[in-house]
Chains A and B, each alone.
Chain A
Amino acid sequence: MILVWIIILLIGTGLLAWLASGWNTFLPRLISLVGTLIYFGITLWLWLEYDPGIGSQKWIISYTAEWIPAFGIQFKLVMDGLSLLMLLLTSFLSVICVLVSWKEINRRVGFFHFNLLLELAGITGIFLSLDLFLFYFSWELMLVPMYFLISIWGHEDRIYAGKKFFLFTQASGLLMLLSILGLYFIHGQNTGIYTFDYEQLLDATMAPQTAFLLMLGFVVAFTVKLSTVPLHSWLPDAHTQAPTAGSVILAGLLLKTGAYGLIRFALPLFPEASHQLAPLAVLLGVVSILYGAKLAFAQTDFKRLVAYISVSHMGFILLGVYSFNEMAMHGVVMQMIVHAVSTGALFIIAGAVYDRIHTRDLHQMGGLWRQVPRMGTMGLVFVMASMGLPGLGNFIAEILILIGSFQGNFKVLTVIATVILITATAYALRIMQKVFYGKEHKVWEIPDFGIREMIVMLSLTSVIIWLGWNPSSVFRLSKVPVQKVIQKINIPEYSQGEEMERIDRDNIYNVANFLDIKYVAINKGNQAQKIIKEVNNTYGRRTEFETINYLPNSPDIEQAEEFKKRSSKTE
């Protein structure tokens, strides 16, 4: 029920803020701040409460109610580790967004906050809904307020940027709707049960070509959101023209809905088709990484530069997701979070600079460090984060994706993607040089970050440093969902026998995990399966029995014996 309350809280706060704007402009801000803080508090509480039992198959919280029973539509909100992480991120950024808009937004303050909170409600809905209809509903709900945020409170070209954003996402969203309906009818015809329920649709069977086409609908919608080259071109305009809070939400959350969709829907619903798509997807991912970096390097508009950095970073997500490797997938989850924080912070800095000198042109800046050392320091931290400097969260994400995808099938492409380490340095240092270092082209008399801005920046900084040194706090949550996706995607392949080696290793690793044993090795043998069964029977681990059956080759006898010994110890 708490999941429903979160959404009600956001929409309610939004409405209240809109109503309150009748009195003055301070009240809507305060109401929104309180609302988002409560939201953040709830997710923090859920996070601290959550104890990930290893191998637990259940959802953390779920809520199901009938919505339109005639069509098999439910109001089904479900949270697992991945959703919880996304919710934490959403609530954290929503507080940040309200804070950065505090001084920046002065027109139609109430309506602004209404849109902001409605947007956040839509995004929260996406991360929670497990009914495809509800998911599509949230997907559309997210679109409209963002269109308003860009077109009303944006910069000079806001109308153009807003339309472009709307057209790209709406068109791709419609493709997804077609796919959803296709899935709905195919599953209905096969089983007689017409439902939009994700968990039931997971078992839908269909011809490979149909599956591929249906999957494309989803993937196009998600990759447009991910701003994968060549579908990225809405993003630079939208990011550049949006107000700061809009840019933060766009970069931090909207792009993540694409990544989340791939992990939650595209892969598990269409495992075989995903394998067919993988070479192309990985290629596009690598192209995005490098092409985005190259474009970022060429830009002279501060916000546009940061926007292209996003394109580059989102390429990592595509690379990681389609390598079907657990390590890479963990890296993807990490990347979703750290990209939101680091790029969000860069947008906030760009917005703060714009507020002070009323230009985003890098040629007008230079030598600002002397005037605003605090801003410069913060700029340095997040510029370094975005080029993946170790010690900051982005490094963990990137290195896991790279090492992980190298273990997969795309070794050459992974090595090519590594070139980003160099190109990222080039664009990142360009920001520092053009904005904070170098000669002062004009002598600006501008104030440094104030207390409110420092609170925002320091909280972002502490998150990015925390994640760099203690990423386990994320992996603790993402472990179960990621392993589930990887299992689902890799199982159908073992019969093909081509990639035995890799699958073999993955499965053994999973088995070891399920048995609470830290056992990772590649060994083969035939009778071991029996012994593992025995282990299961003896210690009553029947639930994991199925997983073990998927093992094409198993650890040899001695190793399995050792399994037995060790698991008896853990018992």
Chain B
Amino acid sequence: MKELLWLIVTLPFAGALILAFGGRKFPHAVSAIIGVGSVSLSAILTLLVGFEFLGDTTPFLQVAWQWFDVYGLSPDIAFRLDTVSLIFIFIITFVGALIHLYSAEFMWKDEGFVRFFVFMNLFIGLMLILVLADNLLLLYLGWEGVGLCSYLLIGYWYKDPKNGYAARKAFIVTRIGDAALAVSFYILFMTFNTLNIQDILTAAPGTWSLGSGIAMATAFLLLGGAVGKSAQLPLQTWLPDAMAAPSPVSALLHAATMVTAGVYLIARTHVLFEIAPTAQHTVAIIGAATLIIAGMSALYQHDIKKVLAYSTISQIGYMFLALGLGAWSAALFHFMIHAFFKALLFLGAGAVISVMRDEHNMFKMGGLWKKLPIIFWTFLIASASLSALPLITAGYYSKDKIIWLAFASDKGSVGLWLAAIVGAFITALYTFRMVFLTFFGKPHAEPTHRPGWMITIPLMVLAFFSFAGGFIELPQNMGNLTLVSDFVEKTLPVATLSVLQPFTELIFQIISSIVAIGAVFLAYILFFNKPFPAAEPQRNAVQRFFFKGWDFDLLYDKVIVTPMIFLAMINKKDIIDQFYTGLACITRQLNALLSATQNGQLRWYAMVVAAGAIIILTIIFFP
């Protein structure tokens, strides 16, 4: 079965190609079957390949052809399957297929139905290339490709200039990170004479000494790339605006693809971070800072999708924190669980928005739990998972592991743990604020209809995983099941602990449980059945600051964007060209001057001849 790895990647592309060429002539149903079917087939194949791979987890390399061979740089178009990439392709194809199914109903009436599926399929295919690539150049192809697809899908409703702006912002901001990533390739090739990931990872510890300048530079450049794609500080600003996309796109973007690319990159190049401890510590700090900053912003949103957007930034922050701690398996475990519940939350939110006539404001909803029971219950499960309610939710097991390691790992500290636990409190608070505002309280509007089976089935499947997915990895004092970490640690190193007492761990688990439940309770007091006006809430200056995402946009606008545009516009006519025009002007003036002497008057000529003769004679006789 492993030999079919290439087919997993090819199928989404094939679907996109067929739709791109024939899509307009097909009826909707056929297009939907091609779009959904190709990705679903990929998902099924992934399961088959995955089951075989579980039996024998030696990495599997499949070379399609040699891309090129120039001056020692000879990357292949080759896919490499190991335990890490298997987790990623499983999530990408499986969650991707569910989102595709959902989109078939969600986008049914849209005039660009076919275009939508072409882009979605491309998105999945390129993301698969990203996580399966065996060399950095091919990874970069997927990396840039998902950037393009995010641009196309965020700007999918292209008629509104706002969407176009959001789309361009997403692409340009992530390209800043991509540029950093590209520079890291220069250094890596200069040192290792190859861009093959495994070769670099093998050679790096012997070539670079621990903490050497060049290793630091490379790790920081890689981090720059990861920060851009994963929307972490300071490049997080594109993600909230990306909500302009249709809801299934947001689900795909936030859960299975794109934003997790940065997590993947750091996990994949973990050796380079391990020999650059400062860079790795920076990863943890960025994660910790981001999770709090984004969490605070999520608290003050009224747009349900923006809450989720900031929540994504914050949850990816947890993953970065774990990466920075060297807790590779914890990061990937949280990535997996996050993919399930965040996809579910976005799909649920999308369903609510569409039945509420495109209403995004939570304050104008309310009381929906009775009218939309399936959406409500699935959404509740996902919210509980996001809030990490103890014992019963998957999110608890994944997030608590990170919180514990923030303290207990040898790279951890009290400060990081504090940030993580405060983040957990904020997370539960904004999540249940969202649940209470949307589904409880006085109804402000009636839903138009109940969604059909293509929407509800993905919701239920994802709800199952958001609930049950956590039980495959249990802490040592609660069953000590380590399926995920065992699996991941075949590829990535094990996190080293400095604190090993089980009793301490229990205390920390109790603390984090109390924090999560306390936050839900606080949300209950503040937001449950409260008569809020059905409008955008009033905000004071501080709240507005949080609402606007800590005014990063304003800062970048003033410091970078405006001066750049000013510089571009002031020199629109190109000053260098003005120089040549000036030259031409002077020449023409001189020409006018000289032609004025040719005026056809005899006396003028006679005078000039005489004057000339006198001058020449003077020069001759009085040298």
Residues of A within 8 A of B (CB): 164, 229-230, 232-233, 236, 294-295, 297-300, 325-327, 330, 367, 369-370, 373, 377, 380, 384, 389-391, 395-396, 399-400, 402-404, 406-407, 411, 414-415, 418-419, 421-422, 425-426, 429-430, 433, 436-440, 469-472, 475, 509, 520-521
Contact = CB atoms under 8 A, between A and B. Distances in A.
Contacts of B574: 233, 236, 295
16 contacts: A164-B580, A233-B580, A299-B572, A370-B159, A400-B73, A402-B186, A406-B190, A407-B186, A433-B164, A437-B158, A438-B161, A440-B159, A470-B65, A472-B68, A509-B71, A520-B193
Interface stretch (B172-180, B332-340, B391-399, B547-555): B172-180
Contacts of B172: 422, 425-426, 429
Contacts of A430: 168
Contact of B68 (A298, A396, A509): A396
B204 interface: no
Contacts of A370: 159
A521 B203 CA distance: 14
Contacts of A403: 73, 185-186, 189
A475 B189 CA distance: 19
Given A327-B70, A472-B66, 14 more contacts: A232-B576, A298-B569, A327-B71, A399-B137, A400-B70, A403-B186, A406-B187, A411-B186, A422-B175, A422-B179, A425-B171, A429-B168, A437-B159, A439-B159
B71 A406 contact: no
Contacts of B176: 422
Nearest to A233: B577
Nearest to A506: B71
A385 B313 CA distance: 31
Nearest to B71: A327
A233 B155 CA distance: 35
B190 A407 contact: yes
Interface in B175-234: 175-176, 178-179, 182-183, 185-187, 189-190, 193
Contacts of B577: 233, 236
B600 interface: no
Contacts of B115: 373
B155 A437 contact: yes
Contact of B186 (A299, A380, A406): A406
A418 B179 contact: yes
A167 to B, nearest CB: 9
Contacts of B159: 367, 370, 437-440
Interface of B is mostly: helix
A346 to B, nearest CB: 17
B250 to A, nearest CB: 19
A405 to B, nearest CB: 9
Contact of B189 (A396, A407, A439): A407
Interface stretch (B94-102, B141-149, B517-525): B141-149
Contact of B158 (A300, A369, A404): A369
B140 A390 contact: yes
A403 B136 CA distance: 13
Contacts of A300: 572
A202 B276 CA distance: 50
Contacts of A440: 159
Contacts of A439: 159-161
A296 B66 CA distance: 36
A350 B537 CA distance: 47
A233 B567 contact: no
Contacts of A433: 161, 164, 168
B66 A418 contact: no
A308 to B, nearest CB: 8
Contacts of B187: 406
B568 interface: yes
B571 interface: yes
Contacts of A297: 568
B67 interface: yes
A429 B182 contact: no
Contact of A327 (B73, B161, B175, B185): B73
Contact of A389 (B67, B77, B144, B167): B144
A426 B175 CA distance: 10
Interface size on B, as a range, is 35 or more
A108 to B, nearest CB: 29
B623 interface: no
Contacts of A391: 141, 144-145
Contacts of B189: 403, 406-407
A152 B532 CA distance: 71
Contacts of A509: 71-72
Nearest to A521: B193
B432 interface: no
Contacts of A390: 137, 140-141, 143-145
Residue from B137, B183, B571 with most neighbouring chain A CB atoms (10 Å): B183
Contacts of B145: 389-391
Contacts of A380: 152
Contacts of B143: 390
Nearest to A293: B568
Contacts of B167: 429
A236 B581 CA distance: 14
Contacts of B70: 326-327, 330, 400, 475
A496 to B, nearest CB: 22
Contacts of A236: 574, 577
Interface string B126-163: 00000000000100110111001001100100111100
A395 B182 CA distance: 11
The 3 closest A-B pairs by CB, nearest first: A406-B186, A390-B141, A327-B71
Contacts of B65: 470
Contacts of A404: 71
A475 B568 contact: no
B69 interface: yes
B148 A384 contact: yes
A294 B568 contact: yes
Contact of A229 (B158, B185, B576): B576
A295 B168 CA distance: 19
A164 to B, nearest CB: 8
A472 B69 contact: yes
Contacts of B144: 389-391, 395
A230 B576 contact: yes
Contacts of A419: 179
Contacts of B73: 327, 400, 403
A416 to B, nearest CB: 10
Interface in B479-519: none
A254 B7 CA distance: 43
A236 B70 CA distance: 34
Contacts of B152: 380
Contacts of A330: 70-71
Contacts of B190: 406-407
Nearest to A473: B68
Contacts of B569: 298
Contacts of B164: 433, 437-438
B151 A520 contact: no
B183 A415 contact: yes
Name which of B145, B176, B182 has the most chain A CB atoms within 10 A of its CB.
B182
Given A295-B574, A406-B186, A437-B158, A326 B71 contact: yes
A546 B66 CA distance: 32
B175 A425 contact: yes
Nearest to A366: B161
A241 to B, nearest CB: 14
Given A326-B70, A475-B70, A233 B158 contact: no
- Residue among B65, B72, B143, B572 having the largest count of chain A Cβ atoms under 10 Å: B72
A213 to B, nearest CB: 23
A402 B576 contact: no
Contacts of B151: 429
Nearest to A426: B172
B182 A402 contact: yes
Given A230-B576, A437-B164, A439-B161, A298 B141 contact: no
